[in-house]
Amino acid sequence: MSTTVDVAPAPHTTPEVIAHPSRVGAAVLSGGLTAALGVAGISLGIAGLFHKVASVHIGWLVPLVGVQLNLDPLGGLFVTVTGAVAVPVGVYLVGYARHEHLPRLSLAVLPLFVAAMLLVPMAGSVTTFLLAWELMALASLALVLTHHRRAEVRTAGGLYAVLTQLGFAAILTGLLVASASSGADTFAGLAAHLDRMSPGTRSVVFVLTVIGFGSKAGLLPLHAWLPRAHPEAPSPVSALMSAAMVNAGIYGIVRFDAQLLGPGPRWWGLALMVVGGASAMYGVLQASVATDLKRLLAYSTTENMGLIVLALGAASLLSSVGARDLAAIALTAALLHVVGHAAFKSLAFLCAGAVLAFTGLRDLDQMGGLARRMPTTTVLFGIAALGACGLPLGAGFVSEWLLVQALIHAPRGGDSTLALAMPLAVGAVALTTGLGVAAMVKAFGLGFLARPRSEGAAKAREATPSMVIGMTLAASVCAVLAVAPVAVGPALRHVLDTLSGIAVPNTPRLGVMLRLPGAGSMSPALLAAALAVAVLAVIALAQWGARHRPEPATVPLWACGADTLTPRMQYTATSFAEPLQRVFDDVLRPDTDVEISHYAESRYLVEKVAYRAQFTDAIEERLYRPVVRGVLAWAGWVRRAHSGSVHLYLAYGALGLLFVLVAAR
């Protein structure tokens, strides 16, 4: 029986690159610069979180308005997170660039990309913000197109360019409307002159900015670039994009829609919850059937950003009904999840990069058995996967716990909007957690355990020391967040102080024991310790009767008595996800095909069975295609006016000029 599974683009095989001395030098320079920028970002961010940092105005840099840089605790948190992602990536890059060819342009743009990401949360005026935003978008586009000789990379790059620029246009329009109607360019001015904006204008700005920032955060329906661009970019770039750049979208929503324009009317919160909940569920569903490791991680980013936006929406909704203490819990959940997601997702992408560099594989169907060949990478990916599935002992557990607490303790009675929104949100979070576990078990179990399913996996080697150091840095942050979220407690409290429009300053204390007044308590550290004690106790109990036992033995697999088990008989990622694919058939709409060819002699004997499953993004198919078709039809119609006659063009010009003159009078 032959199984042809054509789910992901064929893995690109990487010829062993003999590192040229000058290329090593360039990699060390680029990695060092990236890590240094990261360290600078962390120290600046921490300064911004805990102290008052003087604002900087550079008048000559940009005509008319100049560049305005401010650093408040909210910006400080995102600067710190970006810096903390950049440090491990920079260290990792040194080893990575020796094995995977990275052109000089990419190596040069990488630190620039980090600098732009650090600038975005520091911007203190609309102009500066937009400049930094566009710099970040262009730098990331250049990095996505690193391996532009491959067709998939060019398609992904094109899609990313279009969606990111559409998002930028929405943000630009929204912020210009806000700036024009309040008559201020700086954020401080915007906040001071908020009363000059009518509620209608504010809602227009809200919708435009949520669309724009949502496209950057990978939220539905503008998420389609994420599962394409992240897998095609080099892995250190994927880590930066998926762990740090998407946060810029969250930052924008918090800064503009929660802090400067907010608190808004109730439907703002509801809209954010709907977008966030839909993104979370759709993302996790796609992740649970994805077989390309990096594509799976990219969809998991959509899922996690969805959860964060759901939490932000819940905070806004709760604050609009007066439950400001619960709004503080929801906001804490959102911010903590930003930090946690940055930690485990950067680690996951770095591990995926190590696998890609040393096996040439991205397709889970071809992997397997890496635990024996790459033990360190396996352990580190396990830490990342545990964080991503939101189980206890993982970096994502505490924030999901806080989110659920905020949702289920919403004030009851009277308000039917709240009574409908909150249970549905709890259901969405619960289902997301459940499916997230299945997705991550698939990524870890199929990719790293069992036996190699291909030549590449069988010949894997452990990652180089600098890559391991980079990954270990990220893993240690994951471990701290998993058992001691108390470490980020003070920072989050300072951030919440700047969001006093929504949440009360009396924020949840992230101590060793998380105790929420009137909601419940939990202690991640005690839970981890108790579980360790329980497992040790069980191991000790299992020693009962040990003296009667013969010596332990290592024997061949029993496998129901079969004597020749080949690796091809194992379950693959596609077969693992098949039950889920069946259950959610209506949402995923997979394109599956079973081809059975018979022997010529008898049609009762099967010669070959070929199974093909192709997962296209259902939203892309049904939303983007009609839009693209519409645009093309319109363009075809407009083209009729372009006949090539110069006389006609002169007439258009003259008519246009006359029209402008009349309008300007």
Partner 1 sequence: MTAGGVFAAALQGVGVAAGAPFVVGGMRQVRARLEGRAGGGIGQPWRDLRKLLRKQVVTPNGTTVVFAFAPAVIAGSALLIAVAAPLFATGSPLDSSIDLFAVVGLLFIGTVALGLAGLDTGTAFGGMGASRGLTVAALVEPTIMLAVFALSIPAGSTNLAAIVSTTQHHPGQVVSPAGLLAFVALSIVIIAETGRLPVDNPSTHLELTMIHEAMVLEYAGPRLALVEWASGMRLTVLLSLLANLFLPWGIGGDHPGVAGVLVGAAALVIKVAILSTVLAAGEVFMAKLRLFRVPELLAGSFLLGLLAVTASYFFVPALGGST
Judged by CB under 8 A, the chain residues 425 through 444 that form the site for partner 1 are 426-427, 430-431, 433-435, 437-438, 441-442, 444
Site for partner 1 in 503-542 (CB under 8 A): 513, 515, 518-523, 526-527, 530-531, 534-539, 541-542
Which of 559, 587, 631, 632 is in the footprint of partner 1 by CB under 8 A?
559
373 binds partner 1 (CB under 8 A): no
Q: Please give the Cα distance from 337 to 339 (Å, whole number).
A: 5
- CB of 384 vs partner 1, minimal distance in Å: 15
At 329, which amino acid appears? Answer: I
Q: Please give the Cα distance from 74 to 580 (Å, whole number).
A: 40
User: Position of tokens 């906040």?
Assistant: 191
**Do the Cβ atoms of 611 and 591 come closer than 8 Å?**
no
Q: Please give the Cα distance from 162 to 191 (Å, whole number).
A: 32
CB atoms within 10 A of CB 592: 14
553 binds partner 1 (CB under 8 A): yes
412 binds partner 1 (CB under 8 A): yes
The backbone torsions φ and ψ at residue 440, rounded to the nearest 5 degrees and listed phi first, read: -75, -35
Residues ≥6 apart with Cβ < 8 Å to 50: 73, 76, 490, 491, 494
Which of 22, 416, 564, 602 is in the footprint of partner 1 by CB under 8 A?
416
- CB of 218 vs partner 1, minimal distance in Å: 22
Helices 375-388 and 465-483, axial angle in degrees (round to 10): 30
502 binds partner 1 (CB under 8 A): no
Binding-site residue total for partner 1 (CB under 8 A)?
93
Q: Is 202 left (phi over 0), alpha (psi -120 to 50) or beta?
A: alpha
Which of 180, 569, 628, 651 is in the footprint of partner 1 by CB under 8 A?
569
- CB of 485 vs partner 1, minimal distance in Å: 14
Specify the stretch interacting with partner 1 by CB under 8 A; choose among 241-249, 250-258, 416-424, 487-495: 416-424
Q: Please give the Cα distance from 627 to 162 (Å, whole number).
A: 13
- CB of 587 vs partner 1, minimal distance in Å: 13
Which of 393, 479, 618, 623 is in the footprint of partner 1 by CB under 8 A?
393
Site for partner 1 in 187-246 (CB under 8 A): none
Which residue, 529 or 632, is less far from partner 1 as judged by CB? 529
Which residue, 24 or 569, is less far from partner 1 as judged by CB? 569
DSSP annotation string for 101-146 = ---HHHHHHHHHHHHHHHHHHHB-BHHHHHHHHHHHHHHHHHHHGG
CB atoms within 10 A of CB 410: 22
Q: Print the binding letters for residues 142-181 with partner 1: x by CB under 8 A, - otherwise.
A: ----------------------------------------
Specify the stretch interacting with partner 1 by CB under 8 A; choose among 220-228, 411-419, 455-463, 482-490: 411-419
Which residue, 82 or 378, is less far from partner 1 as judged by CB? 378
Which residue, 180 or 569, is less far from partner 1 as judged by CB? 569
Which of 567, 589, 619, 620 is in the footprint of partner 1 by CB under 8 A?
567
Residues ≥6 apart with Cβ < 8 Å to 585: none
420 binds partner 1 (CB under 8 A): yes
Which residue, 46 or 391, is less far from partner 1 as judged by CB? 391
647 binds partner 1 (CB under 8 A): no
Site for partner 1 in 237-296 (CB under 8 A): 288
570 binds partner 1 (CB under 8 A): yes
Residues ≥6 apart with Cβ < 8 Å to 175: 126, 129, 130, 205, 209, 256
Three-state DSSP at 311 gives helix
Going from the C-alpha of 259 to that of each of 68, 104, 425, 560, the distances in angstroms are 18, 40, 23, 62
Q: Tokens for 310?
A: 């759901």
Q: Print the binding letters for residues 340-369 with partner 1: x by CB under 8 A, - otherwise.
A: ----------------------------xx
Helices 266-289 and 199-217, axial angle in degrees (round to 10): 10
39 binds partner 1 (CB under 8 A): no
Helices 465-483 and 324-359, axial angle in degrees (round to 10): 160
Residues in the chain: 665
663 binds partner 1 (CB under 8 A): no
Site for partner 1 in 440-499 (CB under 8 A): 441-442, 444-446, 449-451
At 493, which amino acid appears? Answer: R
- CB of 46 vs partner 1, minimal distance in Å: 30
